[in-house]
Amino acid sequence: MTTVAAPAAAAPAPAAVAAPAVTTSGLAKRFRGGQLAVAGVDLHVPHGSVYGFLGPNGSGKTTTIRMLLGLVAPTAGTHTLLGRPMPASAAEVLPRVGALVEGPAFHPHLSGQRNLARLDAADRTADPATARVRIGTALDRVGLSAAAGKRYRAYSLGMRQRLGIAAALLQPRDLLVLDEPTNGLDPQGTREVRALVCALAADGVTVLLSSHLLSEVEQVCTHVGVMHVGKLVAQGTLDSLRQGRAPRVSVETADPAAAIRALAAQGLSDVDTDGRVVSALLGTAAPEGVLAGLVRAGVPVRQFTLDAPALEDVFVSLTGEGFDVSG
């Protein structure tokens, strides 16, 4: 009986840790020129999620990230990082946050290693005794060990981006804020960054990943927020966003006219044809039943597919003109 008490006493600790990694409430920024870059954003990044922060260039993503990290003072609104109010708790929260903001930036005349040593020296919470090991590990993790002693000036765009990610990994982090982390990387590098993000997420790190490319975040994210002209137009799990759009069935057949009749007879709406392919909104019908109905009606079915709504379409519908520059 007495042994039961011990785990119960320890229980509140995980609950405290599981506070949302990022919350914002009415966060807004009006620049001195009068331009409203961010107009009342309510972000909610759950603990342990990989949050894809999407939006066209100029939609206010980077300004939002700068406000999250305390670089830019919000005009209105409040926010928390790892459950603590910002910017009041910056000194205790930011050491647990790794960040890549609007591309890498380092001293060109210093080597990659010495640039990281400089950042590590500025961190009061960093243990100087382990600096060399931590810097080596971070460089190794992004595949830069061989170029560690090279001057930053001589780095390619991809190497610079990797060094930026290495800087975010100098310490164990609870939250990583990565703004366009695969900018300038080749396909191989993009895959590596994706694998790295997955590995970090598996370790329990919350990742806020901003991008203007849907394809980049779709494969790694659990949650998505979509910015458009300074506003957060959608936010939630990937699945909840997909459900915003109804699935369709499509039938490839030699007799489109019969297929159209059969689909309409089953009560499917928005029946449309494109030559030999007939499609319709599935609605509440079961796709298996629809196929059986087609066969019963004597429609020669060559191929039957259920089109899961493409996320791309969801985003295009949210951001209007698509992923071009907005504002």
Partner 1 sequence: MSAVEAAVPAVAAAPSRAGTGRFLRSELDMVFRRRRNQVILAVLAAVPILIAVAVRLAAPPEDPADGPPFLYGIAGNGVFVALTALTVVLPLFLPLAVSVVSGDAVAGEASLGTLRYLLVVPVSRTRMLLVKYVAAVAYCVVAALTVGAVGAGIGALLFPVGPVTLLSGAQVPLGAGLVRVGLVALYVAAMMAGLAAIGLFVSTLTESPIAAMATTAVLAVTSQVLDSVPQLDWLHPWLFSHYWLDYGDLLRDPIAVDGPARGLLVTAAYGLVFGSLAWSRMTTRDVSS
Closest to partner 1 by CB, 184 vs 247, is: 184
Rounded Cα gap, residues 267 and 61, in angstroms? 43
Closest to partner 1 by CB, 91 vs 325, is: 91
Considering the complex, what minimum distance in angstroms separates the CB of residue 223 from partner 1?
23
Considering the complex, what minimum distance in angstroms separates the CB of residue 119 from partner 1?
6
Closest to partner 1 by CB, 97 vs 251, is: 97
Given 22, 28, 43, 69, the residue binding partner 1 (CB under 8 A): 69
Q: Which tokens go with 17?
A: 């840790």
Give the side-chain half-sphere CA count within 13 A for 251: 31
Q: Which tokens go with 15?
A: 């609950």
Site for partner 1 in 263-322 (CB under 8 A): none
Closest to partner 1 by CB, 100 vs 282, is: 100
- Closest by CA to 125, choosing from 150, 97, 105, 102, is 97
Q: Are 159 and 167 in contact (CB under 8 A)?
A: no
Closest to partner 1 by CB, 96 vs 261, is: 96
Considering the complex, what minimum distance in angstroms separates the CB of residue 80 from partner 1?
16
Closest to partner 1 by CB, 83 vs 95, is: 95
Considering the complex, what minimum distance in angstroms separates the CB of residue 118 from partner 1?
5
x-or-dash pattern for partner 1, window 79-118, by CB under 8 A? -----------xx--xx-x-x-xxx-xxxxx-------xx
- Closest by CA to 51, choosing from 199, 184, 235, 204, is 235
Rounded Cα gap, residues 105 and 72, in angstroms? 17
Closest to partner 1 by CB, 109 vs 132, is: 109
Binding residue count for partner 1, defined by CB under 8 A: 33
- CA 256 to chain CA centroid, nearest Å: 41
Site for partner 1 in 46-65 (CB under 8 A): 63
x-or-dash pattern for partner 1, window 148-167, by CB under 8 A? -------------------x
Given 84, 127, 300, 310, the residue binding partner 1 (CB under 8 A): 127
Considering the complex, what minimum distance in angstroms separates the CB of residue 99 from partner 1?
5
Our finding on whether 66 is near partner 1 (CB under 8 A) is yes
Rounded Cα gap, residues 20 and 82, in angstroms? 6
Considering the complex, what minimum distance in angstroms separates the CB of residue 238 from partner 1?
28
Closest to partner 1 by CB, 70 vs 230, is: 70
Count of CB atoms within 10 A of residue 74's CB? 23
Closest to partner 1 by CB, 48 vs 103, is: 103
Which residues sit at the interface with partner 1, rule CB under 8 A? 63, 66, 69-73, 90-91, 94-95, 97, 99, 101-103, 105-109, 117-119, 121-128, 167
